C-alpha cells in the first residue's frame, strides 16, 4: 500500500507550492487506495509558531485534503532522534562544532580573497575547523556534525533511489564522493534547536511512519543524497521519491513562506476557491 506524506514546517503560511505538494500527494494516495499523512516538522523552536500550525490545518482542510489522525509532531519524537544520533556517535561518525556562521565565512574566505565560498544543500560547506575534536569534549554551545568522509567510507551498499517525478521514472545512483565535496560535514544536531536537525528527523520519521512515497519539491532534491546516506548508515529503508516542479511567481522566482501575498490564506480571503488553486498549480481534474 502506498503511504504518502506532506511534512510542512510551521514557520509561515502555506503558499501555492505547499498546496501543490499536499494536493499531489493526497490525490495519489486516494487514487491508489493508499494512506495520506501530515507530519508537523516543528523542531526549530525559534522559527515554528503554533499559529502557523493552526493556519496550515485550516488551509489543508479548505483545500479538501483529508489526512489521518493523530498527526505526528516532531517535538513528540525527540527521544527517537537522540537515539539515532547516538548510533552515529557510537560508530565514530560525529564531532562537536563550536563555529558560528561568521567563523565559517571567515575560514572559507581566508585562503582566496574575493572568491565566493561554496554552498551545499545545507548552506556553506563547512571547512572542518573542528573535525579533530572528540565527542567527549562536547559542550552545550556545540553543534554536532557528521564527518562525511568517514560516513562515506562506512557505506554498506551502493546508494540509490527510485525517482518517479521524471518521465520515464528512473533509478538514481548516488556517487558518494560529491557528498564529501559538495555537501561536506553537515550539522546533525544544532545547539540552538531542541534536537537533531532536519536531515536526521526527516529520515527517521519517514521510516517510523512507513512512508513509501515522498512527494516534495525539486528544491529538496539535492538533500535526497544526504537522506539516502543517513538511511544507509542507520539501516532505514529508502522510500520512492517524487520531486515535483516548483511553483514560481510571474518573475520565475520560487515562492517562499514569507511571500504572504501568495499564501493560500490570501487567496482564500480574495474569494478564490479550492478549484481555482488546483488550476493555478496545474492540477485540474
Ligand atoms: N519540512 C520541510 C519543509 O517544510 C519539508 C520536508 C520534506 O518534505 O522532506 O520544507
**What share of the chain has pLDDT > 70, as a percent?**
94
pLDDT at 90: 97
Cα 27 to ligand 1 centroid, rounded to whole Å: 18
pLDDT at 258: 67
pLDDT at 251: 76
What is the band of 193 on the pLDDT scale with cuts at 50, 70, 90? Answer: low
User: Which of 4, 5, 6, 9 has most ligand 1 atoms within 8 Å of its beta carbon, as the pocket-test mutant?
Assistant: 9
> Which atom of ligand 1 lies closest to the CA of 9?
4
Cα 37 to ligand 1 centroid, rounded to whole Å: 13
Q: What is the mean pLDDT of residues 1-29?
A: 97
Q: Is the CB of residue 229 less than 8 Å from the CB of residue 179? A: yes
Residue 21: C-alpha distances to residues 165, 218, 242, 278 (Å): 12, 11, 10, 11
pLDDT at 233: 97
State yes or no: pLDDT of 51 exceeds 90: yes
pLDDT at 108: 85
Q: Measure the CA–CA gap between 285 and 279, rounded to whole angstroms.
A: 9
Peptide bond into 168 cis (omega under 30): yes
pLDDT at 110: 64
Q: Which three cell numbers stand for residue 141?
A: 554551545
Residue-averaged pLDDT of the chain: 92
pLDDT at 159: 97
User: Which of 14, 220, 257 has most ligand 1 atoms within 8 Å of its beta carbon, as the pocket-test mutant?
Assistant: 220
pTM recorded for the entire structure: 0.93
Q: What is the mean pLDDT of residues 24-32?
A: 97
> Which atom of ligand 1 lies closest to the CA of 206?
9
pLDDT, tens digit (0-9, with 9 covering 90-100), for 137-187: 999 889 999 999 999 999 989 999 999 999 899 999 999 999 999 999 999
Q: Which three cell numbers stand for residue 64?
A: 479538501
pLDDT at 114: 56
pLDDT, tens digit (0-9, with 9 covering 90-100), for 56-98: 999 999 999 999 999 999 999 999 999 999 999 999 999 999 9
The terminus-to-terminus CA distance of the chain in angstroms comes to 23
Amino acid at each position: 500500500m502506498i503511504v504518502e506524506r506532506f511534512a510542512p514546517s510551521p514557520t509561515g503560511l502555506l503558499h501555492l507550492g505547499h498546496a501543490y505538494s499536499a494536493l499531489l500527494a493526497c490525490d495519489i494516495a486516494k487514487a491508489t487506495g493508499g494512506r495520506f499523512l501530515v507530519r508537523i516538522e516543528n523542531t526549530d523552536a525559534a522559527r515554528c509558531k503554533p499559529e502557523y500550525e493552526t493556519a496550515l490545518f485550516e488551509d489543508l482542510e479548505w483545500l479538501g485534503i483529508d489526512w489521518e489522525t493523530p498527526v505526528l509532531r516532531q517535538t513528540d519524537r525527540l527521544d527517537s532522534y537522540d537515539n539515532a544520533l547516538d548510533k552515529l556517535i557510537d560508530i565514530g561518525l560525529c564531532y562537536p562544532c563550536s563555529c558560528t556562521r561568521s567563523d565559517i565565512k571567515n575560514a572559507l574566505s581566508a585562503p582566496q580573497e574575493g572568491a565566493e565560498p561554496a554552498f551545499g544543500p545545507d548552506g556553506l560547506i563547512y571547512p572542518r575547523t573542528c573535525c579533530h575534536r572528540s565527542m567527549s569534549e562536547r559542550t552545550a554551545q556545540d553543534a554536532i556534525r557528521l564527518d562525511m568522509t568517514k560516513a562515506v567510507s562506512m557505506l554498506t551498499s551502493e546508494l540509490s533511489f527510485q525517482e518517479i517525478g521524471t518521465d520515464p521514472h528512473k533509478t538514481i545512483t548516488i556517487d558518494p564522493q560529491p557528498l564529501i565535496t559538495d555537501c561536506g560535514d553537515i550539522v546533525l544536531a544544532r545547539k540552538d534547536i531542541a534536537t537533531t536537525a532536519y536531515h536526521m528527523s526527516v529520515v527517521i520519521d519517514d521510516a517510523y511512519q512507513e512512508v513509501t512515497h515522498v512527494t516534495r519539491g525539486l528544491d529538496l532534491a539535492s538533500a535526497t543524497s544526504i537522506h539516502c546516506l543517513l538511511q544507509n548508515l542507520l539501516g532505514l529503508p529508502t522510500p520512492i521519491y517524487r520531486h515535483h516542479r516548483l511553483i514560481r511567481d510571474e518573475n520565475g522566482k520560487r515562492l517562499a513562506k514569507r511571500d504572504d501575498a501568495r499564501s493560500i490564506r490570501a487567496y482564500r480571503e480574495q474569494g478564490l476557491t479550492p478549484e481555482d488553486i488546483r488550476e493555478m498549480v496545474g492540477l485540474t481534474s
